[in-house]
Amino acid sequence: MSGADRSHAAGTAPDQDPGRAAVASAYQRFEPRAYLRNNYAPPRGDLSSPDGVGPWKLRCLAQTFATGEVSGRTLIDIGSGPTIYQLLSACAHFEDITMTDFLEVNRQELGLWLREEPGAFNWSVYSQHVCLVEGKGESYQEKERQLRARVKRILPIDVHQHQPLGTGSLAPLPADALVSAFCLEAVSPDLASFQRALDHITTLLRPEGHLLLIGALEESWYLAGEARLAVVPVCEEDVREALMRSGYEVRDLRTYIMPAHLRTGVDDVKGIFFAWAQKKVGL
């Protein structure tokens, strides 16, 4: 989890905004494998302790999907980065899943895992942990087969555009639900840009649809190989206010404080937030 785990990806194309152009330029040096090593290998990738950041995120997602309220036919993962863990609980509840990322290298990394190609990152520890948390008696192989079958496409995205998926998108719109992990704060030069990006992705969601948002608290930078990437620091109240301004009812908002032994020098993250929000009717 760069800065905790950033799905850092949905970046921005160079345009009239120099801040966003700088973000896009910096992400051209993003190294997916370095990011995965920093955040999904031990110590952050150690799922054996219930107090770890990995188990906390997976538990938040599993518990929310277990309510049965977040379901439908279509789900879009906004700024997937090179990771798939954020969809392991979702895939039982949506039959058509779209993954997205600004960077081609991240889309390629996702493709390796989805096609079960040699050299793909091994997510089996995460899949096993989700099966354990959900307690349905499902094997991790079954879980992974279901996710692979339900991801229908991997598309480019730019959350700083009014139409983040572009015109004539191949994704069915509007979606019944959105998931986004470590994306918006990682590609926004300031809070105003973070708010606009949230507004933009909200247009992809149907009224009364659900958004599950995970991100870094009070982080200003993270490393992904040679890339040192800027992050807009946000606090819990910033997240709550941004969601409300974008027309959501905040159903749940939890925070996790990053323990000292997981502050490994790959970022300056202080904690993680998990938000479950529902889009209001008429927006």
9 occurs within a structural domain: no
Please report, in range form, the residues annotated as the binding site for S-adenosyl-L-methionine: 35, 40, 79-80, 85, 101, 106, 158-159
In a domain, 192, yes or no: yes
Is 13 within the bounds of a domain?
no
175 in any annotated domain: yes
Domain that holds residue 123: 18-279
The 10s digit of each residue's pLDDT in 205-227 is 999 999 999 999 999 999 999 99
pLDDT tens string 28-77: 999 999 999 999 999 999 999 989 999 999 999 999 999 999 999 999 99
In a domain, 6, yes or no: no
CATH of the domain at 265: 3.40.50.150
**The 3-state secondary structure of the chain, one letter per residue:** CHHHHCCCCCCCCCCCCHHHHHHHHHHCCCCHHHHHHHHHCCCCCCCCCCCCHHHHHHHHHHHHHHCCCCCCCEEEEECCCCCCHHHCCHHHCCCEEEEEECCHHHHHHHHHHHCCCCCCCCCHHHHHHHHHHHCCCCCHHHHHHHHHHHEEEEEECCCCCCCCCCCCCCCCCCEEEEEEECCHHHCCCCHHHHHHHHHHHHCCEEEEEEEEEEEEECCCEEEECCEEEECCCCCHHHHHHHHHHCCEEEEEEEEEECCHHHCCCCECCCEEEEEEEEECCCC
Classify residue 10: in a domain, yes or no: no
Give the count of domains, the chain: 1
Sequence ranges of the binding site:
35, 40, 79-80, 85, 101, 106, 158-159
pTM of the model: 0.93
168 domain-assigned: yes
Q: Domain for residue 252, yes or no?
A: yes
